[in-house]
Structure 1
Amino acid sequence: MKFHLLIVYPVIVAVLYGSLHVAFNSPGNGKTNSTTKKDSLLRTPVFSIEDVERIKQFFIANASLEEQPKDSNWRPGFRHKCINTVRAGLDMLLFGESSIPDSLYSRKAVLNGNFLNNDINALAKRLKDSFYIRSYDTVRFLSMRKGEWVPITKADPVSRGLQPVAMERSLWNTLLSRVGKERGFSVFIVSVCDGYHAALLTLDHRNTSDLKVYWADQTHKHPWRFYVNNKLEEIPGQFGWEVMHASGPDTLIKGTARGLDAYMLYANKKFWCDCGRPKQKPEDCCAGNCFPYIQIWRLQKQR
Structure 2
Amino acid sequence: MLHSFRFLVKTLLLVAVGACLSYGQVASPKADVKLLKAVPDRLKVEPALLTATDLSRISDDELFSRYRKTVVMEGRINNFMDQPTGDKAVRRYLVGQKHELSKQAIRIGEELARRNEQKVNAKWSHNRAFWAHEVQRMKQFFLANVETRQKTGKNLTCVNTFRRGVSFLYDRSGDVRKSRNPLVRYGLSVPPDNSIEALMARAQVCGMASPARVVQCISPWGRKIEEGNWDKPVKLNENVWDVLMGMVNDDPRYSVFCLSLADGYHVATLTVDNRDRSNPRLYWADQTNNHNDGWEEYQKKDSGHPTKYSKNSVRGLNEYILYAIQEFWKRDDPHNRPTPIIRIWRLYNNPSRSHLYTELKG
TM-score, structure 1 length as denominator? 0.68
Any conservation in 1 of the 2:230–2:337 contact (CA below 8 Å)? no
Instruction: Specify the structure having the higher radius of gyration (Cα).
Output: 2
Cα pair 1:37 1:43 within 8 Å, conserved? no
CA shift, 1:144, in A, is: 1.4
Aligned-residue offset at 1:108: 1.8
Larger proportion of helix:
2
Q: Deviation digits for residues 234-260 of structure 1, max 9, x if unmatched?
A: xxxxx2110000112313334110000
Alignment equivalent of 1:152, drawn from 210, 221, 225: 225
Provide the residue aligned with 1:118 in structure 2. Answer: 194
Would you say the 8 A contact 1:162–1:288 is kept in 2?
no
**Is the alpha carbon distance of 1:143 and 1:36 closer, same or farther for their aligned partners in structure 2, counting shifts above 3 Å?**
closer
Instruction: Provide the C-alpha distance between the structure 1 equivalents of 2:152 and 2:335, rounded to a whole number of angstroms.
Output: 27
CA distance in 2, matches of 1:168, 1:188: 20
State whether structure 2 residue 260 is matched by structure 1 residue 191.
yes
What is the aligned partner in structure 2 of residue 11 from structure 1? none
Structure 2 partner of 1:208 = 277
Specify the code of the residue in structure 2 equivalent to 1:122.
Answer: A
Please say if residues 329 and 340 of structure 2, whose CA atoms lie closer than 8 Å, have aligned partners that are also in contact.
Answer: yes
Distance in 2, matches of 1:50 and 1:191, equals 25
- 2:116 is equivalent to residue 59 of structure 1: no
Q: Which runs of 5+ in 1 are unaligned?
A: 1-29, 71-77, 224-238, 276-284
Q: Which amino acid aligns with 1:294?
A: I
Q: Which residue of 2 aligns with 1:293?
A: 341
Q: Structure 1 244/291 Cα, relative in aligned 2: closer, same or farther at 3 Å?
A: same
SS at match of 1:125: helix
Q: State TM-score, norm by structure 2.
A: 0.58
1:69 & 1:188 partners in 2: Cα distance?
28
The equivalent position to 1:133 in structure 2, one of 180, 205, 209, is 209
| Aligned residue pairs, count | 233
Q: Does 1:46 align with 2:46?
A: no
| Partner amino acid, structure 2, of 1:87 | R
Q: CA RMSD in A?
A: 3.2
| Deviation digits for residues 88-140 of structure 1 (CA, Å, limit 9, x no counterpart) | 11110122334459xxxx9521225556x332111100000000113431100
- Counterpart for residue 258 of structure 1: 315
In the alignment, the residues of structure 2 paired with residue 178 and residue 107 of structure 1 have an alpha-carbon distance, to the nearest angstrom, of 24
- Deviations 1:139-163, CA, capped at 9 Å, x for gaps: 0000112xxx1111126xxxx2211
User: Going by fraction, where is strand more abundant, 1 or 2?
Assistant: 1
Query: Structure 1 residue 267 and structure 2 residue 324: aligned?
Result: yes
How big is the shift at 1:301? 1.6
Q: Distance in 2 between matches of 1:51 and 1:58?
A: 11
Is this contact kept in 1: 2:256–2:270, CA < 8 A? Answer: yes
Contact 2:284–2:298 (Cα < 8 Å) also in 1 = yes
Structure 2: runs of 5+ lacking an equivalent: 1-59, 65-114, 352-362
The answer for the alignment partner of 2:288 in structure 1 is: 219
Aligned amino acid, residue 123 of structure 1? L
Consecutive aligned runs of 4 or more in structure 1 exceeding 6 Å deviation: 30-33, 67-70
Q: Deviations over 1:154-207 (max 9, x none)?
A: 26xxxx221100000011000011122222210000101110011100011222
State the match for 1:7 in structure 2: none
Partner SS, residue 210 of structure 1? coil
- Equivalents in 2 of 1:90, 1:193: separation in Å? 21
- The Cα offsets for residues 198-244 of structure 1, whole Å up to 9 and x where unpaired, read as 11000112223322110001101111xxxxxxxxxxxxxxx211000
What SS is found at the alignment partner of 2:143? helix
Kindly tell me: are residues 184 and 107 of structure 1, through their superposed partners in 2, closer, same or farther at Cα, counting changes over 3 Å? closer
